[in-house]
Amino acid sequence: MFKGRHFDQSVILLCVRWYLAYGLSLRDLKEMMAERSIGVDHSTIHRWVVHFSPRLLERFNRRKRAVTRKWHVDETYIKVRGKWMYVYRAIDSAGDTVEFWFSEHRDLPAAKRFFRKAFERHGRPERVVIDGSQTNREAIVSCDGENGLRHRSRYVPKRTRIRQSRYLKNRIEQDHRCIKRPVRPMLGFKSFASATAILAGVDMIHMMRKRQARYAYNPNPSIAEQFEIIAAA
Protein backbone atom coordinates (compact mmCIF):
# COMPACT_ATOMS: atom_id res chain seq x y z
CA MET A 1 0.00 0.00 0.00
CA PHE A 2 2.95 2.33 0.64
CA LYS A 3 5.27 1.09 -2.10
CA GLY A 4 6.98 3.87 -4.04
CA ARG A 5 6.19 6.63 -1.52
CA HIS A 6 8.86 9.23 -0.88
CA PHE A 7 8.13 9.33 2.86
CA ASP A 8 8.34 6.46 5.30
CA GLN A 9 5.16 4.55 6.14
CA SER A 10 5.34 5.63 9.79
CA VAL A 11 5.29 9.33 8.83
CA ILE A 12 2.31 8.86 6.48
CA LEU A 13 0.31 6.88 9.05
CA LEU A 14 1.10 9.42 11.77
CA CYS A 15 -0.15 12.35 9.68
CA VAL A 16 -3.27 10.52 8.51
CA ARG A 17 -4.11 9.36 12.04
CA TRP A 18 -3.57 12.74 13.69
CA TYR A 19 -5.60 14.55 11.04
CA LEU A 20 -8.55 12.17 11.29
CA ALA A 21 -8.48 11.73 15.06
CA TYR A 22 -7.69 15.07 16.63
CA GLY A 23 -9.31 17.84 14.61
CA LEU A 24 -6.05 19.43 13.41
CA SER A 25 -5.77 21.56 10.31
CA LEU A 26 -3.36 20.57 7.54
CA ARG A 27 -1.13 23.55 8.33
CA ASP A 28 -1.06 22.52 12.00
CA LEU A 29 0.26 19.15 10.93
CA LYS A 30 2.81 20.74 8.62
CA GLU A 31 4.21 22.74 11.56
CA MET A 32 4.18 19.71 13.85
CA MET A 33 6.13 17.68 11.31
CA ALA A 34 8.59 20.56 10.84
CA GLU A 35 9.30 20.48 14.60
CA ARG A 36 10.35 16.87 14.07
CA SER A 37 12.65 17.89 11.19
CA ILE A 38 10.29 16.43 8.59
CA GLY A 39 9.55 18.82 5.74
CA VAL A 40 6.17 17.94 4.24
CA ASP A 41 3.71 20.30 2.55
CA HIS A 42 0.11 20.56 3.76
CA SER A 43 -1.16 19.62 0.29
CA THR A 44 0.85 16.39 0.45
CA ILE A 45 -0.73 15.50 3.79
CA HIS A 46 -4.16 16.15 2.27
CA ARG A 47 -3.40 13.77 -0.62
CA TRP A 48 -2.29 11.12 1.88
CA VAL A 49 -5.51 11.44 3.86
CA VAL A 50 -7.73 11.25 0.77
CA HIS A 51 -5.78 8.34 -0.72
CA PHE A 52 -5.24 6.15 2.35
CA SER A 53 -8.43 6.70 4.39
CA PRO A 54 -10.68 4.52 2.15
CA ARG A 55 -8.00 1.82 1.92
CA LEU A 56 -7.49 1.69 5.67
CA LEU A 57 -11.26 1.60 6.21
CA GLU A 58 -11.57 -1.34 3.80
CA ARG A 59 -9.00 -3.29 5.82
CA PHE A 60 -10.62 -2.26 9.10
CA ASN A 61 -14.01 -3.55 7.90
CA ARG A 62 -12.52 -7.01 7.38
CA ARG A 63 -11.92 -7.14 11.14
CA LYS A 64 -15.13 -5.43 12.18
CA ARG A 65 -17.27 -7.46 14.57
CA ALA A 66 -20.91 -8.23 13.83
CA VAL A 67 -23.53 -5.66 14.82
CA THR A 68 -26.85 -6.39 16.50
CA ARG A 69 -30.12 -6.53 14.54
CA LYS A 70 -31.70 -3.45 16.09
CA TRP A 71 -30.61 -0.23 14.40
CA HIS A 72 -31.05 3.50 14.85
CA VAL A 73 -30.81 5.44 11.58
CA ASP A 74 -30.56 9.17 10.96
CA GLU A 75 -28.84 11.64 8.67
CA THR A 76 -26.80 14.70 9.52
CA TYR A 77 -25.32 17.41 7.31
CA ILE A 78 -21.86 18.64 6.30
CA LYS A 79 -21.03 21.68 4.17
CA VAL A 80 -18.93 21.15 1.01
CA ARG A 81 -17.96 24.21 -1.05
CA GLY A 82 -20.70 26.21 0.65
CA LYS A 83 -23.41 23.62 -0.05
CA TRP A 84 -25.06 21.35 2.50
CA MET A 85 -24.64 17.63 1.87
CA TYR A 86 -25.82 14.68 3.91
CA VAL A 87 -24.29 11.87 5.95
CA TYR A 88 -26.54 8.83 6.43
CA ARG A 89 -25.48 6.80 9.47
CA ALA A 90 -26.76 3.86 11.48
CA ILE A 91 -25.78 2.53 14.90
CA ASP A 92 -26.99 -0.64 16.60
CA SER A 93 -28.53 -1.19 20.02
CA ALA A 94 -25.04 -1.46 21.59
CA GLY A 95 -23.97 1.89 20.11
CA ASP A 96 -21.66 0.36 17.49
CA THR A 97 -21.54 1.95 14.04
CA VAL A 98 -23.40 -0.12 11.44
CA GLU A 99 -22.90 1.81 8.21
CA PHE A 100 -22.05 5.20 6.69
CA TRP A 101 -23.05 6.85 3.41
CA PHE A 102 -22.25 10.37 2.19
CA SER A 103 -24.63 11.86 -0.37
CA GLU A 104 -25.06 15.11 -2.25
CA HIS A 105 -28.83 14.77 -1.87
CA ARG A 106 -31.32 13.86 0.80
CA ASP A 107 -33.91 11.92 -1.17
CA LEU A 108 -35.29 8.43 -1.82
CA PRO A 109 -32.48 7.22 -4.15
CA ALA A 110 -29.84 8.29 -1.60
CA ALA A 111 -31.70 6.57 1.24
CA LYS A 112 -32.06 3.39 -0.84
CA ARG A 113 -28.32 3.33 -1.62
CA PHE A 114 -27.55 3.63 2.08
CA PHE A 115 -29.93 0.86 3.16
CA ARG A 116 -28.88 -1.48 0.32
CA LYS A 117 -25.26 -1.11 1.41
CA ALA A 118 -26.17 -1.74 5.07
CA PHE A 119 -28.37 -4.76 4.28
CA GLU A 120 -25.82 -6.35 1.95
CA ARG A 121 -22.99 -6.00 4.47
CA HIS A 122 -24.85 -6.75 7.71
CA GLY A 123 -28.04 -8.58 6.75
CA ARG A 124 -31.64 -7.61 7.47
CA PRO A 125 -32.23 -6.04 10.88
CA GLU A 126 -35.14 -7.01 13.09
CA ARG A 127 -36.03 -3.40 13.84
CA VAL A 128 -35.03 0.03 12.56
CA VAL A 129 -35.74 3.22 14.51
CA ILE A 130 -36.07 6.37 12.40
CA ASP A 131 -37.61 9.81 12.81
CA GLY A 132 -40.78 10.84 10.98
CA SER A 133 -39.13 10.69 7.54
CA GLN A 134 -41.46 9.03 5.05
CA THR A 135 -38.57 8.83 2.57
CA ASN A 136 -36.49 6.68 4.92
CA ARG A 137 -39.51 4.48 5.62
CA GLU A 138 -40.09 3.88 1.90
CA ALA A 139 -36.40 3.10 1.41
CA ILE A 140 -36.41 0.51 4.22
CA VAL A 141 -39.56 -1.21 2.90
CA SER A 142 -38.14 -1.32 -0.64
CA CYS A 143 -34.69 -2.60 0.35
CA ASP A 144 -36.17 -5.10 2.80
CA GLY A 145 -38.25 -6.57 -0.02
CA GLU A 146 -35.31 -6.68 -2.43
CA ASN A 147 -33.11 -8.38 0.15
CA GLY A 148 -35.78 -10.95 0.95
CA LEU A 149 -36.21 -11.90 -2.72
CA ARG A 150 -32.47 -12.35 -3.22
CA HIS A 151 -32.15 -14.66 -0.21
CA ARG A 152 -35.26 -16.81 -0.56
CA SER A 153 -35.15 -20.10 1.32
CA ARG A 154 -37.44 -22.43 3.23
CA TYR A 155 -37.13 -20.13 6.21
CA VAL A 156 -38.72 -16.77 5.46
CA PRO A 157 -37.57 -14.16 7.98
CA LYS A 158 -40.02 -11.62 9.29
CA ARG A 159 -40.12 -8.23 7.69
CA THR A 160 -38.02 -5.55 9.29
CA ARG A 161 -40.08 -3.64 11.83
CA ILE A 162 -39.94 0.13 11.48
CA ARG A 163 -40.45 2.35 14.48
CA GLN A 164 -40.85 6.07 13.77
CA SER A 165 -40.35 8.54 16.60
CA ARG A 166 -38.58 11.86 16.75
CA TYR A 167 -38.01 11.28 20.48
CA LEU A 168 -35.89 8.15 20.04
CA LYS A 169 -33.12 9.88 18.04
CA ASN A 170 -31.02 10.96 21.02
CA ARG A 171 -28.67 7.98 20.84
CA ILE A 172 -27.66 8.46 17.22
CA GLU A 173 -27.66 12.27 17.45
CA GLN A 174 -25.11 11.98 20.25
CA ASP A 175 -23.10 9.64 18.01
CA HIS A 176 -23.20 12.19 15.16
CA ARG A 177 -21.35 14.68 17.37
CA CYS A 178 -18.27 12.45 17.46
CA ILE A 179 -18.16 12.67 13.65
CA LYS A 180 -18.89 16.37 13.27
CA ARG A 181 -16.60 17.61 16.06
CA PRO A 182 -13.27 16.67 14.35
CA VAL A 183 -14.52 18.17 11.06
CA ARG A 184 -14.89 21.75 12.35
CA PRO A 185 -11.13 22.62 12.45
CA MET A 186 -10.62 21.22 8.95
CA LEU A 187 -11.79 24.57 7.48
CA GLY A 188 -14.31 23.05 5.09
CA PHE A 189 -14.19 20.58 2.25
CA LYS A 190 -13.33 21.58 -1.30
CA SER A 191 -14.84 18.63 -3.16
CA PHE A 192 -17.37 15.85 -2.71
CA ALA A 193 -14.74 13.14 -3.35
CA SER A 194 -12.31 14.41 -0.72
CA ALA A 195 -15.15 14.93 1.78
CA THR A 196 -16.30 11.33 1.24
CA ALA A 197 -12.81 9.92 1.88
CA ILE A 198 -12.11 12.09 4.92
CA LEU A 199 -15.50 11.52 6.56
CA ALA A 200 -15.10 7.77 6.08
CA GLY A 201 -11.74 8.03 7.83
CA VAL A 202 -13.22 10.04 10.71
CA ASP A 203 -15.96 7.43 11.12
CA MET A 204 -13.29 4.70 11.12
CA ILE A 205 -11.48 6.44 13.99
CA HIS A 206 -14.77 6.61 15.87
CA MET A 207 -15.25 2.85 15.38
CA MET A 208 -11.69 2.23 16.58
CA ARG A 209 -12.46 4.13 19.77
CA LYS A 210 -15.53 1.93 20.23
CA ARG A 211 -13.36 -1.21 19.84
CA GLN A 212 -15.39 -2.51 16.90
CA ALA A 213 -12.60 -4.59 15.34
CA ARG A 214 -11.07 -7.90 16.39
CA TYR A 215 -7.31 -8.30 16.76
CA ALA A 216 -6.02 -11.78 17.54
CA TYR A 217 -3.06 -10.92 19.75
CA ASN A 218 -4.14 -7.63 21.30
CA PRO A 219 -7.65 -7.38 22.78
CA ASN A 220 -7.37 -3.68 23.65
CA PRO A 221 -5.08 -1.87 21.17
CA SER A 222 -4.64 1.89 20.99
CA ILE A 223 -5.65 3.77 17.84
CA ALA A 224 -1.98 3.99 16.83
CA GLU A 225 -1.60 0.22 17.24
CA GLN A 226 -4.78 -0.40 15.23
CA PHE A 227 -3.40 1.74 12.39
CA GLU A 228 -0.18 -0.28 12.37
CA ILE A 229 -2.06 -3.59 12.38
CA ILE A 230 -4.43 -2.79 9.52
CA ALA A 231 -1.68 -1.13 7.47
CA ALA A 232 0.40 -4.32 7.75
CA ALA A 233 -2.53 -6.59 6.85
Distance CA 67, CA 224 (A): 24
Most confident of 111-125, 138-152, 159-173: 111-125
Distance CA 2, CA 191 (A): 24
- What domains can you pick out in the chain, each with its CATH number? 9-63+213-232 (no CATH), 70-188 (3.30.420.10)
pLDDT for res 149: 52
CB 78 within 8 A of CB 198: no
Q: How many other CB atoms sit within 10 Å of the CB of residue 79?
A: 12
In the chain, alpha helices (H): 9-22, 26-35, 42-63, 108-122, 134-150, 170-183, 192-209, 223-232
The pTM (predicted TM-score) of the whole model is 0.89
Asked if pLDDT for residue 152 goes beyond 70, the answer is no
Asked if pLDDT for residue 11 goes beyond 70, the answer is yes
Asked which of 10-24, 99-113, 216-230 is least confident by mean pLDDT, the reply is: 216-230
N- to C-terminal Cα distance for the chain?
10
